[in-house]
Amino acid sequence: MEQTKFKWSLRERSQEKTAVLEYFTEQQARRVQRFHSSFPEYQPTPLRALNELARQLGIKNLFVKDEAYRFGLNAFKVLGGSFAIGSYIADELQEDIDKLPYSRLISDEIRKCFGTRTFITTTDGNHGRGVAWTANRLGQRAVVYMPQGSAAERLANIRAEGAVAELTEMNYDETVRYTSNLAQKNGWIIVQDTAWEDYTQIPLWIMQGYMTMALEAYEQMPVKPTHIFLQAGVGSMAGAVQGFFANVYGSACPLTFVVEPDKADCLYQTAAANDGQLHNVTGSLDTIMAGLACGEPNSIAWEILGHCSDGFISCPDYTAAQGMRILGNPLAGDRQIVAGESGAATVGLVTEVLRDQRLEELKQALLLDENSVVLCFNTEGATDKANYRRIVWDGAWGQE
Ligand SMILES: Cc1ncc(COP(=O)(O)O)c(C=O)c1O
């Protein structure tokens, strides 16, 4: 059979429960959701049932949680940055985050004792926009750096939230080190969505923030899924969602698979090596899935994913492009979903695996069949509209 560019590494679930899971319980998720729902913009994002597409693909159901509707920001990412900034302020003031809803965070009382501080971050777009939006809402300052090749539209959206934002000539991981040095020099607070040695509290809050999305999906699903597919950059989102579902379902957790672009598949490489070390991918990380273009796994996320996930899949760029076209051009009776490159990665993977004969072995490995109830997350809308049109209108990155 013709070779495909997909690679995968399946894992046995670990019998030991990793201690990090205690930060991702349903109770913690409800606390996070209470914080988010105190913002006037808060509304649960829709869960779409794509019944016609599921029928066409030969599975029972396909559900897509559509984060393009999150806080009017077109991506789930603000959930992490806002919870981390809120938790940081609570921590500094020795308050409980439960007692610091949005209305109090913007009050004169809190502004007087916390003052105005600068929050700095690195982003391909979505995380930085969420940090800039939160800082703007709470009367704080944000400074944002973006790796080389970041989309002009994403930079403009961050600046529109009042942040100081610049492009660099470095890749994502190098830019993270650059902003971390700047933060240290200037006494700014770094709000990064990945952990490293001695930097774990804020990334943990960010990961907890993502649980609002998982909790909403859990409550919205009319049936229990058999399969959950999660796209990953550093793995913070996948780790948080996996952690939540591992807690709520225990040993009956649905099969969960992590999906990455082959140009930045650090979690797949880590899983495939299976030697107890994290494995980085270096270079320009040149993938259309800009949000997933991260070469260094988040160690906290790996702790969860390495213990609880059932497999890691590395995909070529055309997977995401196919997902965008399929979601953007629904079968009659299904709702349209406008998905960006990173958002469409998992639906792209599922639809390719079920449509392309060359992927039969992967379909068998994932145990996908007519009884499968699949849950995917469209983590972003069209955050780079020029590229959206190149892909969906002009057919760029067609199937290879
Ligand atoms: C749209 C989108 N989806 C998924 C991810 C992946 O998140 P993580 O880096 O936590 O793995 C990102 C990260 O920026 C993103 O922007």
Domains and CATH numbers, the chain: 7-76+208-392 (3.40.50.1100), 78-198 (3.40.50.1100)
In the chain, where does DSSP find H-type helix?
26-36, 51-57, 78-92, 102-105, 108-114, 126-137, 152-159, 172-186, 201-209, 211-220, 236-249, 266-273, 299-308, 318-328, 345-355, 360-365, 385-392
Q: Is the pLDDT of residue 365 over 70?
A: yes
Residue nearest to atom 13 of ligand 1 (CA): 291
What is the per-residue pLDDT across 14-70, written as a single tens digit (0 to 9) for each?
A: 888 899 999 999 999 999 999 999 999 999 999 999 999 999 999 999 999 999 999
pLDDT score at 400: 76
Q: Is the pLDDT of residue 162 over 60?
A: yes
Q: Is the pLDDT of residue 129 over 60?
A: yes
Q: What separation in Å is there between the alpha carbon of 325 and the centre of ligand 1? A: 20
364-399 burial, b if ≥16 CB within 10 A, otherwise e?
ebbebeeebbbbbbbbbbbbbeebbeebbeeeebee
Q: Is the pLDDT of residue 108 over 80?
A: yes
What is the per-residue pLDDT across 238-283, written as a single tens digit (0 to 9) for each?
A: 999 999 999 999 999 999 999 999 999 999 999 999 999 999 999 8
Q: Is the pLDDT of residue 184 over 60?
A: yes
Q: Which residue from 45, 122, 342 has its CB within 8 A of the most atoms of ligand 1, so it is best to mutate?
A: 342
Q: Is the pLDDT of residue 336 over 90?
A: yes
For the CA of 210, the nearest atom of ligand 1: 10
Q: pLDDT over 90 for what percent of the chain?
A: 94
Q: Count CA atoms within 13 Å of residue 258 on its CB side.
A: 39
Q: What separation in Å is there between the alpha carbon of 203 and the centre of ligand 1? A: 13
pLDDT score at 1: 40
Nearest Cα residue to 230 out of 216, 248, 243: 243
77 is catalytic: yes
Q: Which residue from 77, 207, 266, 303 has its CB within 8 A of the most atoms of ligand 1, so it is best to mutate?
A: 77
**Coil, strand or helix: which one is 9?**
strand
Q: Which residues line ligand 1 (CB under 6 A)?
A: 75, 77, 124, 126-127, 193, 231-238, 291-292, 294, 342-343, 379-380
Report the pLDDT averaged over residues 140-161: 96
Nearest Cα residue to 299 out of 290, 289, 307, 291: 307
Task: Quickly state the pLDDT bin for 3 (edges 50, 70, 90).
Answer: low
Q: pLDDT over 70 for what percent of the chain?
A: 99
Q: What's the Rg (C-alpha) of the chain?
A: 20
Q: What separation in Å is there between the alpha carbon of 73 and the centre of ligand 1? A: 14
Report the pLDDT averaged over residues 124-150: 96
Q: What separation in Å is there between the alpha carbon of 233 and the centre of ligand 1? A: 5
17 is catalytic: no
Q: Mean pLDDT in the chain?
A: 96
